[in-house]
Structure formats: C-alpha cells, structure tokens
Structure 1
Amino acid sequence: MTIVELSWFKSSYSGSEGDSCVEVALTPLAVHVRDSKDTPRPGFTASPTAWTGFLENLPR
C-alpha cells in the first residue's frame, strides 16, 4: 500500500475567529476532513458527491 501525502487547506466554511477550523484535502475519489486544532485525531472521509450534498445544505 502506498501512502499518499494529502495537501490540506483551511475550509472557507471555517470560523473567522479561529475557533472552528476545518481542514480539507481533496483527492479524485475522496474528500478528507479534519479538525485543524487536533490533526493527530482521525478525521473522516466522504465521497465527492456526499461532500457536495453536505455543502449545498449548509446555511448561507
């Protein structure tokens, strides 16, 4: 199994005060999500379709 280094970036949906920071890493088959304040803690992975559906349902 090959380990791929993910390129994490802060989500635009993260809080502006630095208290709710979500980092996201995109790959062709998955969207990886983690808490930027606790990166060793496991995050979760969603399909791109599921992630899009999640974002479409966020309050604006």
Structure 2
Amino acid sequence: MRVGRDEFGRAALHRWYIEAMRASRTTIHQVTNHIVDFDDADRARVVVYCRDQLERPSTGHGEAG
C-alpha cells in the first residue's frame, strides 16, 4: 500500500497515522444522509455527507472540514 508520495507498507502507514492523530486534540465526525443504490447482489454505489471538526493544540483553534 502506498502512503503519501514516497512511502509504502504498514510501517509507513503506522507512522503517518500516529503523526496525524498527534496533530488534533478533539475530533468530531458526522456521517449522515446515506444514499445506497444496489447495482446487483455484489455491488452498490454509496453517497454520504461527512463533516469533520478538528481542534488543533498547536494553533489553539478549531477547523471545520
């Protein structure tokens, strides 16, 4: 698996995840309004609305995404 531009593998993913989680103190995720269209017994297409809010200790501010 590729992680970022130049790294690969589980160890790279672990490093990325640890660093990403250290950047935020509080996270709030809302995943709503699921629309699921079944193409057949094995395939479906899904659309959801996702809003996330992050509190970053380094800046003292929150961010909405």
TM-score range, shorter chain: under 0.3
> TM-score, normalised to structure 2's length?
0.25
> TM-score, normalised to structure 1's length?
0.26
The structure whose Rg is larger is 2
Structure having greater relative contact order (Cα 8 Å, sep ≥ 6): 2
Query: Which structure carries more strand by proportion?
Result: 2
